[in-house]
Amino acid sequence: MAGGGVFIEAAGDGTTSTSTEGSKTYAVVVCVFASLGGIFFGYDQGVTGGVLVMDSFLNDFCVDYDGNTYLQCTSTAADLPANWLNFTTLFNVLYYIGCILGAYVGGVVADKFGRRMTIMSAGVLFCIGTCMLVFTGRGGHTLSLIARVIQGMGVGNSSFSLPIFGAEMAPKELRGMLSGFMQMSIVTGILLAGIVNIAVENTEHGWRTTNAVAMAFPVIVMAGIFCVPESPRWVYKHKG
């Protein structure tokens, strides 16, 4: 069972038979599906830089923040208000702290409850954090920072669990190529973030819209993750 892939396949007479590697085509499909999680990792990496300079975000979080004016909020980097610089720094730093926490939690969940469960928990955390962020009211600096930590936990969890799941599900002769799908999907997510940012940057709720779009991919992964088999390595380790 340690070879990877999907292990039970139907025989022509309707019975089942055990295969060393199982259906390679199905294993490839499972790996490609799992790599979709990399899109929301990449998307969230790419979306933040554009969001921080959108007028809709500045109006909600910078303008009138301790008396800041729109002109101050859109000045050169050297002249930006100190409170705004502190907030945007925390907006990024707390996200990465969440990523570290999420990767650790993901490791514990993956070993104890399985790879699928940790992928599901990653999606749930990311969607909770994103919903909190998207629905944060104007001037809700503290809530938005908490949301960023939770978002980061989801992303860190997924960045740990999805490559493991993909590698363990892949047939051994295709493992290197299929493991690379995660990196490809991350870059795809960054590209999509740039496209969506450009499309909504001048709309009234642009920053909320582009963050909300990020939830599409984890929702797809969560909807389908329990339709695919558990990692054979985890099953072998825990159930023999």
75-123, pLDDT tens digit by residue? 988 889 999 999 999 999 999 999 999 999 888 888 888 888 888 899 9
Task: Kindly state whether residue 233 falls inside one of the protein's structural domains.
Answer: yes
Task: Kindly state whether residue 79 falls inside one of the protein's structural domains.
Answer: yes
Q: What is the rounded distance in angstroms from the CA atom of residue 116 to the CA atom of residue 104?
A: 16
34 contacts 119 by C-beta, under 8 angstroms:
yes
Task: Kindly state whether residue 163 falls inside one of the protein's structural domains.
Answer: yes
Residue 131, pLDDT score: 96
**Tokens read off for 70:** 């729109």
Task: Kindly state whether residue 72 falls inside one of the protein's structural domains.
Answer: yes
Longest dimension (CA), the chain: 77
CATH for 43: 1.20.1250.20
Task: Kindly state whether residue 191 falls inside one of the protein's structural domains.
Answer: yes
Task: Kindly state whether residue 18 falls inside one of the protein's structural domains.
Answer: no
> Of 68, 50, 48, which Cα lies nearest the Cα of 138?
68
121 contacts 109 by C-beta, under 8 angstroms:
yes
Domain with 51, as residue range(s), is: 38-239
Is residue 13 very low, low, confident or very high in pLDDT (cuts 50, 70, 90)? Answer: very low
Query: Can you give the length of the chain in residues?
Result: 240
Is the pLDDT score of 174 beyond 80?
no
Is the pLDDT score of 238 beyond 50?
yes
Q: How many folded domains does the chain comprise? A: 1
154 contacts 124 by C-beta, under 8 angstroms:
yes
Task: Kindly state whether residue 25 falls inside one of the protein's structural domains.
Answer: no
Task: Kindly state whether residue 217 falls inside one of the protein's structural domains.
Answer: yes
